[in-house]
Amino acid sequence: MSPVRRLDSMTWPEADAIAPRALLVVPVGSTEQHGPHLPFTVDTEIARALAEALAGGRPDTVLAPSVAYGSSGEHAAFPGTLSVGQEAVEGLLVELVRSADAFAGTVLVSGHGGNAAPLARAVALLRREGRRVLGWSPSGSPTDSHAGRTETSVMLALRPAAVRTDRAEPGDARPLAEILPVLRASGVRAVSANGVLGDPARACAEEGRAILAAWTADLLAAVERWSVSG
Ligand SMILES: [Zn+2]
């Protein structure tokens, strides 16, 4: 592990001195409901933790402040969800990466599945423009896609005080592909009244730490492959 270089603690001359040889790492999250037991910031906190781990594993990186809002229209029926929509996410990521041209490249670490499509479109456009950019998202189970065992375990590892264990209850645990048509047409609340897709019952911090370690290894490997690919 190397000390993490953070844009929130740097000045522009310091950035200027290292940017041409450094990758900018940007956590991309959301502010959306995560059931009756998890906070709105889960996706942003997970993206941030993984981006930190990447920055800690590679001395040629600079960690940027997180993008805390995403595309969460399918969660709009749950109060407190704040979404800017797919078009805005795509535009934001395109402009953000264009503005990072001083760096040798940009890694977008996404913690929110709802951002996947606009993230992919933004990365495709930026690459056509000749920019060095990688979009990465953690893998997940289709029967545990939202506020279930995986995300609850990871939050128990990252910030246990934010988990209302006594309020955890199962949601709709059918495979995502099966419920996606209803979910797209009518939102998450139409398939899961409590906002959970999965079952948090057996979540624990130890499993969360193992999941984070596996995701971090995947992310480091993906960045390594990409950074040597020319
Ligand atoms: Zn989430």
Q: Give SS3 for 8.
A: helix
- CA distances in angstroms from 12 to 15, 59, 102, 187, listed in the order given: 5, 19, 11, 43
- The answer to the question of residue 78 being in a domain is yes
- How far apart, in whole angstroms, are the C-alpha atoms of residue 204 and residue 31? 23
- The answer to the question of residue 57 being in a domain is yes
Give the tens place of pLDDT for each residue, 135-186: 999 998 889 999 999 999 999 999 999 999 999 999 999 999 999 999 989 9
- How far apart, in whole angstroms, are the C-alpha atoms of residue 26 and residue 199? 30
Distance 130 CA to ligand 1 centre (A): 31
Q: Give SS3 for 101.
A: coil
- How far apart, in whole angstroms, are the C-alpha atoms of residue 35 and residue 150? 13
| pLDDT at position 223 over 90 | yes
150 membership: H or E segment, kind and range: helix 149-158
220 membership: H or E segment, kind and range: helix 205-227
- The answer to whether the beta carbons of residues 46 and 151 sit under 8 Å apart is yes
Distance 150 CA to ligand 1 centre (A): 9
- The answer to whether the beta carbons of residues 114 and 2 sit under 8 Å apart is no
Residue 229 pLDDT? 86
Domains in the chain, number: 1
CA neighbours within 13 Å on the CB side: how many for 181? 1
Distance 40 CA to ligand 1 centre (A): 9
Q: Give SS3 for 84.
A: coil
Distance 43 CA to ligand 1 centre (A): 5
Q: Which of 28, 8, 22, 11 is nearest to 101 (CA)?
A: 22
Q: How confident is the model at residue 75 (pLDDT cuts 50, 70, 90)?
A: very high
Distance 11 CA to ligand 1 centre (A): 33
Domain boundaries, position 145: 7-227
| pLDDT at position 74 over 80 | yes
CATH number where 55 lies: 3.40.50.10310
Distance 32 CA to ligand 1 centre (A): 8
Residue 198 pLDDT? 96
Residue 96 pLDDT? 98
106 membership: H or E segment, kind and range: strand 105-110
Residue 2 pLDDT? 77
Distance 17 CA to ligand 1 centre (A): 36
Give the tens place of pLDDT for each residue, 178-210: 999 999 899 999 999 999 999 999 999 999 999
Give the tens place of pLDDT for each residue, 92-138: 999 999 999 999 999 999 998 889 999 999 999 999 999 999 999 99
- The answer to the question of residue 2 being in a domain is no
- The answer to the question of residue 1 being in a domain is no
Angle at 225 between CA 26 and CA 92, to 5 degrees: 25
- The answer to the question of residue 115 being in a domain is yes
- The answer to the question of residue 41 being in a domain is yes
Give the tens place of pLDDT for each residue, 13-69: 999 999 999 999 999 999 999 999 999 999 999 999 999 999 999 999 999 999 999
Distance 61 CA to ligand 1 centre (A): 25
Distance 70 CA to ligand 1 centre (A): 11
What are the tokens at 21? 């040889």
- The answer to the question of residue 68 being in a domain is yes
Q: How confident is the model at residue 230 (pLDDT cuts 50, 70, 90)?
A: low
In the block, tokens 């037991």 appear at 37
- The answer to the question of residue 164 being in a domain is yes
Residue 1 pLDDT? 73
Report pTM.
Answer: 0.97
Return all residues near 27 (Cβ < 8 A) that are at least 6 apart: 44, 47, 48, 50, 51, 63, 64, 66, 67, 109, 111
